[in-house]
Structure formats: structure tokens, C-alpha cells
Amino acid sequence: MVHVEQKVSGNINHSIDYSKIPTFRTCGTSEFQGALEFVRTAEAKIDFVFPEVVFPTNKLYRLWGEKNIRDMVFYHHRLLRKSSIGSFFSSDDAVFEFATKKTGDFFVEALGGGKVYSSQYGHPALRMRHFHMTIDEKAREIWLMMYKKTIKELSMPAECIEEFWNWIEALSIRMINRRTTVLDIQRFPFTDMFKEPIAQKKESN
């Protein structure tokens, strides 16, 4: 049994065996009971296991190329701008385009196109960079669903979709920076998202 040391400030230091710790969702609401002569205890919990993130290979970059990746990011941001999280983006077109270009640099580099992002901006530090936006569970879902739409409408090469989707689906969970715990963090498996023949334009904006 492996024990992991959790560093906390002050002099409370727990040696934790995670295998024994339930999540909020695996426990029901316990009965409320007033104090008695003896002490009662509610067990330690964790919230959620952030799943592993499997990064894509450079297959999409090799098959689709830089221009299509940049077009995808622009398309996605334009969808987001019209969505309920549109306020994440500037209403000033020049600012919007600059931000989208920067995101495009990130995707090009992340997908294998060389250091076009990190040479300008350094480490992505994605959670810190997104912190000024209130990303809760719902905002992450909207971001992800607009990628589903983008992938379909721009006809991403079918053989690249699964690894691209699995990457952003898991990665986007880590961007949640105002975790409410009231909403579950939903998973959106590739097989559920892309059931219909890919590259058919079923939805249009």
C-alpha cells in the first residue's frame, strides 16, 4: 500500500492512503444529528479524479497542416464568441483576433508544428493563463461541444479525431478553475460524440 504525503501548511500533516478515500459522489448526504456526549466523525473525501491526459501524436499536423489547424481555432473561437461564454472574448475584433492567433500558435505547437507558441510566450501554464476567466463545469462543456461542432463542420481527417478529442476532452477538465462541486464533471467519450459518419455536416450554425 503506497502512502502519499500531502503537504499542508501549519503542523497538520496527513499521510494519506487514497485507496480508502471516497469521493463526494460515492457518499450520500449523511443524516444530520446534533452533538451528543461522544464524538462523531465524517470521513475524509476527495472531490474527483482528474483523468490522465493522453496527448496526441503529430498525425493531425502531418495530415491537415498548420493552416487547417489555425482555421479550426478561429472557427471554434467564433462559435464560442456567439455562445453563452462569449464574454470570455473581447468585443474588439483586433483583440479577439490577436487572442485567437495566440491560441492557434499553441495548438500548432502542441500538435507538432514546432515552437511557434513557446518561443513567444514561454510555458503555456494553461491553468494560470485561463484564471481570469471563470471556467466552471458548464463553461468547459460549452467549450468542448463547440469543438465537437468544429471538428464535424470543418471535416477534420477522420483518422485523427479520436486522439485529438481524447486529448481535449481530458485536458479541458483541468482548465476548470471555479469548481462548484454542485455540477458533476461530465465525461464525453469519443464513441458517444462521433457516432454518426464523421465529416457529414449534420449541424450548421
Taking the CA atoms of residue 103, residue 51, residue 142 and residue 95 in that order, the dihedral angle to the nearest 10 degrees is -20
Taking the CA atoms of residue 183, residue 189, residue 193 and residue 196 in that order, the dihedral angle to the nearest 10 degrees is -150
Nearer to a second copy, 53 or 99 (CB): 53
Q: Shortest approach of a second copy to residue 42 CB, angstroms? A: 4
From the CB of residue 85, how many other CB atoms can be counted at a distance below 10 Å? Answer: 20
Nearer to a second copy, 97 or 159 (CB): 159
Q: Shortest approach of a second copy to residue 204 CB, angstroms? A: 25
Per-residue DSSP letters for 5-32?
A: EEP-STT--EEE-GGGPPBGGGS-PPPP
Q: Shortest approach of a second copy to residue 16 CB, angstroms? A: 5
Nearer to a second copy, 36 or 94 (CB): 36
Q: Shortest approach of a second copy to residue 87 CB, angstroms? A: 17
122: helix, coil or strand? Answer: coil
Nearer to a second copy, 82 or 127 (CB): 127
Give the DSSP letter of residue 4: E
CB 79 within 8 Å of CB 150: yes
Q: Shortest approach of a second copy to residue 82 CB, angstroms? A: 26
- Longest CA–CA span in the chain (Å) reads 70
Contacts of 132 (CB under 8 A, 6+ apart): none
Nearer to a second copy, 61 or 75 (CB): 61
